[in-house]
Copies of this chain bind each other. A is one copy, B any other.
Amino acid sequence: MRKVVSSGQPTIKEIAKRLNISVSTVSRALHDHHSIGLRTKARVQQLAAELGYERNQTAIFFQQGKTFTIGILLPELSEAFFSSAISGIEDTAYSNNYTVLLGQSHDDEAREKQIIQSFKQHRVDGCIVSIGKNTSNYDHFEMLRQAKIPVVFFDRIPDLPNIHSVSCNLESGTVQAVDFLLKKGHRCIGMINGPEQLMASKERAAGYIRALGKHRLKYDPELIVNADLTAAGTDAAMQHLLTLKRKVTAVVTFNDYVAMDAVQYALKQKLEINKDITFVSYANTPVSSYTAFPPAASVEQFPYEQGQAATNMLLDILNGTLPLNDYQQRIMESQLVLHT
């Protein structure tokens, strides 16, 4: 039999041989088991230290069927929102002795499936995932369910029954945002929303409509336009809004990038920001306050905290604190932040 690898790392067996005791004794000594004599324990531990023994996690993972690893799948690692979330996830995973496996889907459904597959093969204990923009088939998550690998969806959550999720209540934040604009006297408020099928888009729209209702104002469907979040899409949306008969004096944009593109467009149309037209956005970049015309206010979604919350929920499931089939949808409150 060929020895595949000679990592050179000392093993428990090595220690046993040198000390002329059995491997089980060594294993127990290393775990401070009560049935091992103090002398033996000391001898084992000392030799282990001398040899620089380190347990082979891969062996333990295999033997225990548990990896203390969670897979985290996000659309884009470099987006500020997600990178803050990763930070929150890693921090809480770390302090609970879990490790984090990472994958980015780039909003590509096929790649998303492959990564989930890879996570599953890696036998991760659980997953945290934010689905891609155009993911419409959820077979891969069904597989995870069958494999009894818990998943906590996060931010971009699929429209599925019986799932765990952590998300931000964008509806309430949107209500706050629209309220804010209404109180400032705006009566014709446009909204550049995201792709229709996105939950995030639905919530924004719902908040928008609810806020109008609160103030007994009629909702004009033409004022909400679904865009694709590209600069071109935003331009088209702006063009649509600015050519309506009623004059749009404020716009709620899907996120900061859209806001900035929209601002650029407005400037090209010789509009004066915060006078002719006011923008409110959803925060996803730390530097929007530095921009020339930052949105008058923005809805903060606390990505770091969402990451923490999702991880905690997953850990609760893994610990058995939270039953796997007790599906929880934790909805965190978003909050409108004024940019004076």
Contact = CB atoms under 8 A, between A and B. Distances in A.
Contact of A59 (B56, B62, B292): B62
A309 B69 CA distance: 27
A58 B5 contact: no
B90 A77 contact: yes
Contact of A67 (B4, B58, B264): B58
A288 interface: yes
A238 to B, nearest CB: 16
Contacts of A122: 57-58, 99
A102 interface: yes
Interface residues of A, number: 62
Interface string A37-79: 0000000000000001011111101111111010000001111
A61 to B, nearest CB: 5
Contacts of A292: 290-293
B123 A104 contact: no
A216 to B, nearest CB: 37
A51 B260 CA distance: 51
A316 B7 CA distance: 19
Contacts of A5: 64-66
Contacts of A62: 56, 58-59, 61-62
Given A77-B86, A91-B104, A102-B86, A55 B121 contact: yes
Contacts of A58: 58, 61-62, 65, 67, 122-123
A103 B90 contact: yes
B101 A100 contact: yes
A186 interface: no
A87 interface: yes
Interface centre among A58, A64, A260 (most CB of B within 10 A): A58
A77 B87 contact: yes
A311 to B, nearest CB: 13
A292 to B, nearest CB: 3
Contact of A87 (B78, B94, B118): B78
30 contacts: A4-B64, A7-B123, A8-B147, A8-B148, A52-B146, A54-B147, A57-B121, A57-B122, A58-B61, A58-B123, A61-B61, A61-B62, A69-B101, A77-B86, A77-B87, A77-B90, A78-B86, A79-B83, A80-B83, A87-B104, A90-B103, A91-B104, A99-B118, A99-B122, A100-B101, A100-B103, A264-B290, A287-B291, A291-B291, A292-B292
